[in-house]
Amino acid sequence: MRYALDALRRRPGRATLTALGIGLAVGLVIILLAIGAGIQASATELATASGVDLIAASANTSIVSGGSFPPVADAHRLATEIPQMDPNVEVASPWLVGDLVFGNASLYAASNRSDVPSGWTITGSGAVGWIPDDNGGIEVPEVQNGTGFTAAGDPHYANGTYAGPSTHEIVLDQGLAAVLGVGVGAVVWASGATPSGPSALPGWYANATAFRVVGISGPFWLIPSALLGFVYLSELQEILGGASNATDYASLLLIHLNDPTTAATDQVRIEAAFPALTVFTLQDILGAVQHVVDLYRTFGALIGAIGVVVAALFATTVLQMSVDDRSRELALLRAIGYSRARVGSFVLEESCLLAGVGLGIGLAVAYVGTYGLNLVLLRLVPGLPTSFSFVAFDASVLLAGLAVVGAIGLGAALLPAARALALPIAEELRAP
């Protein structure tokens, strides 16, 4: 090892650049692997903690389709009939996810005066229609201010007549409440239509539905959006399509089981009893996440492989130059009795030393890079819980980094070592 250290000290600039190149390649591989491991681990943790054991969607829906789910018909009826059919189902909660536009009282007053300030407009956001007290066991956004929803069930549905009283209650998340500039007790207007401009605002308000804000919630990771409003299912149905038995639909039914260990059995039972549904288990959902992560890992592996090959070629070139610089010295060692294997080991030690320094650089680069990347991604995807992390340094990630360093160190030493072993002793010693 002393000989390898001496060789590196002779060309410190070259050795530093080589170690840096190896470090960048190792850091890139670790970053890519850490992201895949982080997403998989966090997704598993969130899915397990959500309380959602099964998800029912429209028949023939694929969990990895990447598109929006077709509507599930008879949402209110299914919320009652599924638990009645399967005693292990504690809750089958229908969720309708759609898009609404909101206006506040200030814009309403300005539109009536026909003096809407420049830049003032309605706000588009996501909306969730559900039955608030029918989510037992399922993680829902925490109401941080206000009483939250006050009516039991879904009063406006009224057993399918849609003639019951509307609560006109809404819970806004912090992001939407801040944009609208409203708090608990304020009135906001919501509609599925968008006005064409300031002049159309009076007509838009006349046709929009007024809601009283009964709560401000924290962000919600299950629907990661900074702007989200929650209302009763039938009232959102009415806004989006004119509520009736024909439009009693939801996007999904989230199912919480009394005993989640029998999820696969409950999946088969529900699908047999309700042929219009496709039911996914938690493992199906995590499998879909794994599928996406595997695609990412394949892409990342290609990028990482390119980086490793480039680093290995660079290190090989530098070691080859080092052997050429010390050719007479190596020939002299052979002449005084050093074996071929011993001379070759000097080159291997130099390569491993460079790779070891590169590993240290790579770990530092990976730690700083993943930390910064995690912060950026968490800001880009609002609504995630504080425990969520896009990166994870587990044993497999660190072992992969060591494997990359070993591959570079050994691979880079092959040709230079062979060159050192093949040096003609007599010719090198006679050379000027």
Tens digit of pLDDT per residue, the chain (432 long)? 555 565 555 666 666 777 777 778 778 888 888 887 787 777 777 777 788 899 999 887 776 554 467 889 999 999 999 999 999 999 999 999 999 999 999 999 998 888 888 878 889 999 999 999 999 889 888 899 999 999 999 999 998 889 999 999 999 999 999 999 999 999 999 999 999 888 899 999 999 999 999 999 987 777 766 789 999 999 999 998 865 567 799 999 999 999 999 999 999 999 999 999 999 987 777 766 666 666 666 776 677 677 777 777 767 777 777 666 666 666 666 666 667 667 666 667 777 777 777 778 888 888 888 888 888 877 777 666 667 788 877 777 777 777 777 777 666 666 666 666 666 655 555 555
pTM: 0.70
Return d(Cα 381, Cα 220) in angstroms, integer.
Answer: 11
Return d(Cα 235, Cα 164) in angstroms, integer.
Answer: 11
Structure tokens at 137: 């066991």
Amino acid at 262: T
Among candidates 119, 382, 68, 393, which has minimal Cα distance to 250?
68
Among candidates 266, 284, 257, which has minimal Cα distance to 52?
257
Largest Cα–Cα distance of the chain, in whole Å?
106
pLDDT recorded at residue 17: 75
pLDDT recorded at residue 291: 66
Pairing status of strand 249-250 against strand 72-73: antiparallel
